[in-house]
A and B are shown apart, each in its own frame.
Chain A
């Protein structure tokens, strides 16, 4: 067998349905401005400014690297609603003290091995949610402008909002807006639905690395539960 129709695979439809529901939930949550919770610590939806700061300081969570406890406590502080409040007050000493006590609280509550790993996994999932609709890059495309210039240009040219409004826009909202603008303007690039695409990639990788065969798929020997 050198190929199969995906709807012949037992469990495929249910798995795709579940993946689509998850995608829909993530996209909707982006517009509700709900805070995420990571083992008792509240985290805001990441804004463009938050992303730039995390990128500037090389947070391992953005680059899929092994984080340390200090990385965890720092990202939880940087994305907490409290940090935003202190930044708006702009009182240096108060902010420093608040961040010190917050980090101590994180270390105390999430410092143990099991819960540390679990918290890091949740932060990685949060990052995945934030970047789910990030614009696709072209293979071999020319990088004539910085990606940030593209983001700001697309949003500002269509919505006429200030630079600060874009800076404080949650990433998932901005990415969905960019996608809507591209669709409205007749951009014919393929649609990326990352949760569903990961499911397809699981099947693809399984076939390519011979973990299972087409026969296994058709005979229902492959479980999609964990994906």
Chain B
């Protein structure tokens, strides 16, 4: 899925377009941790012994830490993220929506907040 971990540098971070303020803006989510939820499929024979096994991803969830600027480009005032916003994850190529947006903290010119995401299924 993602590149292998490399000396603790640049692993797992993504930058995605998201509606923020009144325009589409780049939002950095670093780290971005995908957690695939799977159903294991088993097909038993007449004695109950498993003959076939398979797996199917049913719903991906993810956690991350979003970083946003407090002053946006093109005269747009960015806002902290809220639940319901969605974006295309470049690693899995699935859409994710924010299920829970944590408290935004500001230091200098950035906001940071923890987010919990779910795969957008429609």
Contact = CB atoms under 8 A, between A and B. Distances in A.
Contacts of A188: 114
B17 A3 contact: yes
Contact of B6 (A4, A7, A210): A7
Interface in B58-112: 65, 67-69, 72-74, 76, 80, 87-91, 103-112
Nearest to A17: B9
What range describes how many residues of B lie at the interface? Answer: 35 or more
B78 to A, nearest CB: 8
Contacts of B10: 6-7, 12-13, 16
Interface string A5-37: 111100011001100100000000000000000
B30 A6 contact: yes
A204 B26 contact: yes
A40 interface: no
A204 B10 CA distance: 15
A206 B69 CA distance: 12
B104 A13 contact: no
Contacts of A208: 23, 25-26, 69, 72-74, 76
B64 to A, nearest CB: 10
A4 B32 CA distance: 12
A139 B80 contact: yes
Given A6-B13, A192-B112, A201 B67 contact: yes
A186 interface: no
A158 interface: no
A210 B26 CA distance: 10
A201 B7 CA distance: 22
Interface string A117-130: 00000000000000
13 contacts: A3-B87, A6-B15, A8-B3, A135-B107, A136-B112, A139-B106, A189-B103, A192-B108, A197-B67, A201-B67, A204-B69, A205-B26, A207-B17
Given A6-B10, A6-B28, A208-B76, 4 more contacts: A6-B30, A204-B27, A206-B26, A208-B23
